[in-house]
Structure 1
Amino acid sequence: MITPADLRARAEALAGPLPPLLAAAEHLATTVLLGEHGRRRPGMGDEFWQYRPAQAGDEMRMVDWRRSARSDIHFVREKEWQAAQSVVIWVDRGQSMQFASSDTLQTKSLVARTIALATAVLLTRGGERVGLADNSLPPRSGELQLLRLAEALSQDDETTEYGAPETRGMIAHSRAVFLSDFLGDISPARAALTKAADKGVKGALVQVLDPAEEAFPYDGRTIFESVGGTIRFETQKARDLRDRYLDRLAERKEELRSLARLTGWQYEVHHTDHSATAALLWLYQAMDRVH
């Protein structure tokens, strides 16, 4: 039989590596909302939400006669929707996400992971079930699940240059969140969202970019090398590439935006030199918009 001391030791061993990421996510989450996840909509539940005028088709048993007695019309008492939803998260762990153009900036990977875990904090504390899209951690609720998520998101990166969105953990008619720079081959993202649409899964894409990837501030002789070292290109006139690069980046953004629109998802760009609070607030609200 396990003793309280053994249990505490195991818990401390589990939580030991996690505080930096989890603490950052907790802090970020508190800047967006204190309290429950905003699910303010009518539906099945126990909590009163609002009164509304009775409409054709409403049954007489739905009318609140006490409230209606104070008016010339009948009112229906609506409950607040409280059904827990399952949300799966995928964060790109490809080598490209380790890029940071300055020592003063966090890597795209760290920013994406922090936003992902902060989103999980908000959703979990709102009663939702959260897991990982690769099926390694099925959606569950509770504080222990946050520790599991923090542990999973703290693991080492993939050896591939660019990650591919996972869909194995998607549950029909659930929701999903993908965070990546989406700078590699777009085919995996297109396939993942198509599969999601077939399952009735809606969600949000967050494209995380370093400011240098957005502005291309390079001039003269420049050696471009991927983080994983698999791609290397040298030029004497980097500025001559700027317009073509920016055109390609704009095309990629439009591809992602169109893909999201066609599959019922939301799309947003976040730059690592901007406050993560704005990205988290957008993502938090997007989870309500994709119901």
Structure 2
Amino acid sequence: MSSSPQLRRRAEAAASKLPPLLARAEHLANTVLLGDHGRRRAGAGDDFWQYRPLQEGDSFRMIDWRRSAKSDAQYVRQREWQIAQSVSLWIDGSASMSYASDTSLAPKSDRAQVLALALSILLIRAGERVGLAGAELPPRRGDGQIWRLCEALLAPGDADYGTPEARAMIPRSRALFISDFMGDFAPVEQALAKAADRGVRGVLLQVLDPAEEAFPFQGRAIFESMGATLEHETRKANDLRDRYLERLADRKAALHRVAKATGWQAFTHLTNAPVQQALLWLYRAMEGGR
């Protein structure tokens, strides 16, 4: 087939980026102090964690009678949570994410990939399972999964704008969606509704180029989508600024609204901002979703 050489070149180009991406993600992950990773919580493990007073709704079978005999109160013996949590990732690989307004800035896709992989490294090395939303790469542990995630994150998409993936999510697990969220908003709402129905909590991370945030364009300009499916020409780009910024503010408000309604969190990160800052926020936000 005539497309085979082209597909091979794309695959080789993606493969050539894999070690640098992994090295950058490893370095970034090492900037975050793992500590105990917040994993000490009551659950179905075997290790003793703490005693707590008997509460309404507790079964009498939960009472530790030996500890309770030492006082007038009745106590429950709690064990440390040892069942690893599962985290599903959806990282927008659409053409829109390849935008960078300046050669000194990385494309949005690059920032999304390194953040997703660095967070995955932190979670997997803390004993958790991480995979991709959908059936392509289910959550698993181990360094081998980090390599598989790295390879999958570099696979290019075909669409102009990304559509969130919410299939095959494990009930009561966590999720991370990273995108510019510049496309149709209905699929975002639908994906979060599906996730909420399964008890999945998570984070929406909007990654934007600083030019998309500030709209610095003036005079004659041609705006074209990265996939070249949309085009708009104007003689006075500065006249569009107020309308554009208003629509961007509306989109951010919509992200926060749907996140709040479904128990998620939303955050916007610019590609000229420190990447460590974004990872630390993600790390804490994912912990808060337990």
Same fold (TM over 0.5): yes
Residue 89 of structure 1 aligns to a residue whose secondary structure is strand
Shift of 1:123: 1.0
**Residues in 1 aligned to 2:46 and 2:122: alpha-carbon distance in whole angstroms:** 21
Classify the secondary structure of the residue corresponding to 1:244.
Answer: helix
CA distances 1:245-276 after superposition (whole Å, capped 9, x unpaired): 11000000111111111111111111111112
Following superposition, the deviation at residue 74 of structure 1 comes to: 7.5
Q: Deviation of residue 90 (structure 1)?
A: 0.6
- Give the superposition deviation at 1:120: 0.8
The structural deviation recorded for 1:64 is: 6.8
The range that moved more, 169-178 or 236-245, is: 169-178
Aligned to 1:62: 64
5 Å-filtered alignment, 1:1-80, equals 18-50=18-50, 52=52, 61-62=63-64, 65=67, 78-80=78-80
- Corresponding residue for residue 133 of structure 2: 133
CA 54–198 in structure 1, closer or farther in 2 if over 3 Å, else same: closer
Opposite residue 204 of structure 2, the aligned amino acid is L
Contact 1:64 1:74 in 2 (8 A): no
**Mapped contact 2:63–2:77 kept (Cα < 8 A):** no
Contact residue 94 and residue 158 of structure 2 kept, 8 A: yes
The Cα of 1:78 is off from its aligned counterpart by 3.8
* Structure 2 match to 1:247: 246
Residue 7 (structure 1) aligns with? none
* Residues 131 and 149, structure 1, Cα contact 8 Å, conserved in 2: yes
Segment of structure 1 superposing worse, 239-248 or 281-290: 281-290
What residue is the counterpart of 1:9 in the other structure?
none
Contact 1:90 1:178 in 2 (8 A): yes
Residue 279 of structure 2 corresponds to 280
Give the CA deviation at 1:207. 0.5
* CA deviation after TM superposition for structure 1 residue 41, in Å: 2.2
* Count of matched residue positions in the alignment of Structure 1 and Structure 2: 274
Offset at residue 54 of structure 1 (A): 5.9
Three-state SS of the structure 1 residue aligned to 2:87 is strand
Q: 1:21 touches 1:154 (CA, 8 Å); kept in 2? A: no
Q: Is the 1:29–1:122 Cα contact (8 Å) retained in structure 2?
A: yes
Is the CA contact (8 Å cut-off) linking 1:219 and 1:239 kept in structure 2? yes
1:262 aligns with 2:261: yes
Which whole-Å CA distance do the structure 2 matches of 1:72 and 1:27 have between them? 53
1:219 maps to 218
Pair 48,273 (structure 1): closer, same or farther in 2 beyond 3 Å: farther
2:107 alignment counterpart: 107
Structure 2: which amino acid aligns with 1:184? G
- Which amino acid in the other structure matches residue 37 of structure 1? H
Q: What is the TM-score with the length of structure 2 in the denominator? A: 0.86
Amino acid at match of 1:130: V
CA contact (8 A) 1:87 1:174 kept: yes
SS in structure 2 at match of 1:32: coil
Residue segments in structure 1 that go unaligned for 5+ positions in a row: 1-14
User: What is the match of residue 5 of structure 2?
Assistant: none
Measured against aligned partners, the alpha-carbon deviations of 1:205-241 in whole angstroms (never above 9, x if no partner) come to: 1000111111111111222122111122121211111
Partner of 2:85: 85
> SS state of the match for residue 44, structure 1?
strand
Give the CA RMSD over aligned residues.
2.4
Contact 1:95 1:227 in 2 (8 A): yes
Alpha-carbon distance between aligned partners in 1 of 2:65 and 2:161, rounded to the nearest angstrom: 57
Pair 73,168 (structure 1): closer, same or farther in 2 beyond 3 Å: closer
Quick one: distance in 1 between partners of 2:118 and 2:64? 39
Separation in 1 of the partners of 2:102 and 2:27? 24
The aligned counterpart of 1:124 is 124
Compute the displacement of 1:51 (Å).
5.1
Q: TM-score, normalised by structure 1?
A: 0.85
Identity of aligned residues (%): 57
Instruction: Check the 8 A contact 2:204/2:266 in 1, yes or no.
Output: yes
1:165 corresponding residue in structure 2:
164
